[in-house]
Structure 1
Amino acid sequence: MPIETRPLQPLQPHFAAEMTGIDATRPLTPADVAAIEAGMDKYAVLVLPGQDMTDEQQLDFTRNFGPLQVAANTGMTAADMRLHDAFADVSNLDKENRKLERDDRRRMAALGNRLWHSDATFRVVPARYSLLSGRIVTRDGGNTEFADMRAAYDALDEATKAEIEDLVCEHSLIYSRGQLGFTNFTDEERHRMKPVLHRLVRTHPVTGRKSLLMSAHIGAIVGWPRPEAMAFIRDLMEHATQPEFVYVHRWTKHDFVIWDNRTTMHRVRRFDDLNIVRDLRRTTTMSEGPTVAQQGTQHEDQAR
């Protein structure tokens, strides 16, 4: 079966596409890998439907696209974890596959996924691809929305592009969770979540296109007063998430969705997670390296 891509949005033909002709449960050929990477460079989000995969098959597929990034799984201890530590457990289930209680610490932390973000910008080496497998899905809410940060950058006026070209932001999970009032961190977590630095504008290493590197994890702009910085970031967020830049994915069972964190943001929409089971499992690969030199050596442990 030949590999084919079909844009999912007629009005945005270069953002988000469905790819068929790939069996993600089997070893990929070099031609398969090249086709996926070319599709990602063009569309930034690929939907591979009908991929009924195991965890090991998902890990094998993911390894074709760079080193695995260990998931943060904020709010969980090792004893809590339901999946291999290379998976972000994007579900509402505990280790015994029971729905999480409303006030469960894991659920509180996971609510941060409802904010616009790019995966792992709270690490020195942020994410390249995220790969999300829909094992149990709901059509009653729970959509995932993606914002094209290339198009958002292109639409800025020239004065704003010049202003942001060299800006550097601080990113931390503490900032994103703090927006929701989640501040229940241990001392060890606070140490591990010390802010890291990233450029606000990044250039794609293959296409050369510029995009905004934005996320709910941003809590400061280096050299700016914090209130001014956060007001500015809020304006940019509103700009970047206008409907003309957004693709909404409505999940079907066994969809396998891949996105490039270097050129997108995303968020999950609310659903009745106290009564409906939703089990999605995300693997992630690391990008090429830091986007900017860090201050001192305090963040070396976060590069992993």
Structure 2
Amino acid sequence: MGVVSLKQADSTRAETLSIRRLQPTIGAEISGVDLTRPLDDATRDAIRAAVLRHKVVFFRDQDITRDQHLAFARQFGPIYTHPTTTGVDHHPQIHGITAADFAKHEQARKEAAAKAGQPDTAHEDKYHTDTSWRLVPAWGAVLRGVTIPEVGGDTIWVDAEAAYNGLPDDVKRRLEGLHVTHDFREALNKVGRDYPIVAHPVARRHPETGATILWVNYSQKPQILGVELAESRELLTLILNQYKRPEYQVRFSWRPNSLAFWDNRAAVHYAVRNYGDFPRVVERVLIADQAHYADL
């Protein structure tokens, strides 16, 4: 598959395609394309280049079906079916992310913490990247707004390359050669699956752009190997504080029929849960790195 250069991604117009930056290093809104129809090669390549350049891109007013959601994502690689996904309306590859499921998950976390005599961590910041527990994580994700509150429920994406570049040189030196584990076994075991704990570099090299990415998933019990636990916690706090800096972020306010398409290797994200008991629903499709990596 051909790829438009990253420099071109700011100004490329494949037919009527228009790409508008939202922040200096992360986020762009794409218009002039109808996602109900298959993309021509030039448009597909321009969108892919924009995802690489801007880490996350957004589309508005795309009234697409679930089949069209899958078809759009499939043009950028093989679809990855997450083992904990039950599917939506006979679409096993679509993960419905609902407010109700989140509430049940958080309640279970609180009860488990109380039973273990540990502090309640249900409301910790959960900046994360999807499938980081896998040896070869998904490269991309396409999220569609389905049932969206009038206000609230935004999603924040963080430029993990800029977050790394903004670290003091002494912290970069401390991170050299260190790896982080992400433990997803509890959720996998509940659906009868298991997967060994794998470790990825904390400062991870992007396989396509070559950029160094600060890559930690705070939703999956991260631990940095090769250092004392106290130092692991210290470094994880330093990294989390980088993620929280507004200059590395783009914040997207959802509307129905909005889509976000992001490079899962270059950005971490955080769902803002400030919409009370509104039954918010978004639906996600994951794109595997390569076909022969889909099950790794």
The answer to which of 51-60 and 228-237 deviates more is 228-237
Distance in 1, Cα, partners of 2:68 & 2:47: 17
Deviation at 1:24, TM superposition (A): 1.4
| Aligned equivalent of 1:141 | 152
Instruction: Determine whether 1:23 maps to 2:34.
Output: yes
The answer to which of 144-153 and 186-195 deviates more is 186-195
1:69-116: CA deviation from partner (whole Å, max 9, x where unpaired): 11244xx7x5x9656221221123xxxxxx5695x459757x799611
Distance in 2, Cα, partners of 1:163 & 1:289: 35
Distance in 1, Cα, partners of 2:136 & 2:249: 25
Instruction: Determine whether 1:282 maps to 2:284.
Output: yes
Instruction: Determine whether 1:4 maps to 2:18.
Output: yes
Distance in 2, Cα, partners of 1:270 & 1:40: 25
Distance in 2, Cα, partners of 1:136 & 1:124: 33
Distance in 1, Cα, partners of 2:48 & 2:39: 12
Identical aligned residues as a percent: 26
1:126 to 134, 137, 140: 137
Query: SS of the residue aligned with 2:61?
Result: coil
Distance in 2, Cα, partners of 1:123 & 1:220: 15
Distance in 1, Cα, partners of 2:227 & 2:202: 13
Opposite residue 56 of structure 1, the aligned amino acid is D
1:258 to 256, 261, 264: 261
Query: In structure 2, do the counterparts of structure 1 residues 100 and 205 end up closer, same or farther at CA, with 3 Å as the change threshold?
Result: closer
Query: In structure 2, do the counterparts of structure 1 residues 107 and 25 end up closer, same or farther at CA, with 3 Å as the change threshold?
Result: farther
Is the CA contact (8 Å cut-off) linking 1:51 and 1:254 kept in structure 2? yes
| Aligned equivalent of 1:195 | 197
Opposite residue 88 of structure 1, the aligned amino acid is H
Query: In structure 2, do the counterparts of structure 1 residues 288 and 223 end up closer, same or farther at CA, with 3 Å as the change threshold?
Result: farther
| Aligned equivalent of 1:213 | 215
1:246 to 240, 244, 249: 249
1:86-105 map, 5 Å: 86-92=93-99, 104-105=104-105
| Aligned equivalent of 2:115 | none
Distance in 2, Cα, partners of 1:303 & 1:259: 21
Query: In structure 2, do the counterparts of structure 1 residues 208 and 288 end up closer, same or farther at CA, with 3 Å as the change threshold?
Result: farther
Gaps of 5+ in 1: 93-98, 175-182, 291-299
| Aligned equivalent of 2:61 | 50
Opposite residue 19 of structure 2, the aligned amino acid is T
Opposite residue 287 of structure 2, the aligned amino acid is T
Distance in 1, Cα, partners of 2:208 & 2:188: 40
What's the Cα RMSD here? 3.0
Is the CA contact (8 Å cut-off) linking 1:125 and 1:288 kept in structure 2? no
The answer to which of 257-266 and 211-220 deviates more is 211-220
1:194-229: CA deviation from partner (whole Å, max 9, x where unpaired): 422111122223322211111112522222223321
Instruction: Determine whether 1:33 maps to 2:47.
Output: no
Is the CA contact (8 Å cut-off) linking 1:169 and 1:218 kept in structure 2? no
1:20-43: CA deviation from partner (whole Å, max 9, x where unpaired): 122111111111111011101111
Distance in 2, Cα, partners of 1:230 & 1:130: 29
Q: TM-score, normalization: structure 1?
A: 0.78
Distance in 2, Cα, partners of 1:238 & 1:303: 33
Query: In structure 2, do the counterparts of structure 1 residues 37 and 226 end up closer, same or farther at CA, with 3 Å as the change threshold?
Result: same
How many positions carry a matched residue from both structures? Answer: 269
Is the CA contact (8 Å cut-off) linking 1:170 and 1:195 kept in structure 2? yes
Query: In structure 2, do the counterparts of structure 1 residues 190 and 270 end up closer, same or farther at CA, with 3 Å as the change threshold?
Result: same
Query: SS of the residue aligned with 2:282?
Result: strand
Query: In structure 2, do the counterparts of structure 1 residues 135 and 234 end up closer, same or farther at CA, with 3 Å as the change threshold?
Result: same
Distance in 2, Cα, partners of 1:48 & 1:132: 10
| Aligned equivalent of 2:127 | 116
Distance in 2, Cα, partners of 1:289 & 1:162: 35
Gaps of 5+ in 2: 1-14, 110-121
1:95-150: CA deviation from partner (whole Å, max 9, x where unpaired): xxxx5695x459757x7996110011011111211100112211332110111101
Q: TM-score, normalization: structure 2?
A: 0.80
List structure 1 runs of 4+ shifted beyond 4 angstroms: 80-83, 99-102, 105-109, 111-114, 185-191
Distance in 1, Cα, partners of 2:272 & 2:64: 24
Is the CA contact (8 Å cut-off) linking 2:127 and 2:270 kept in structure 1? yes
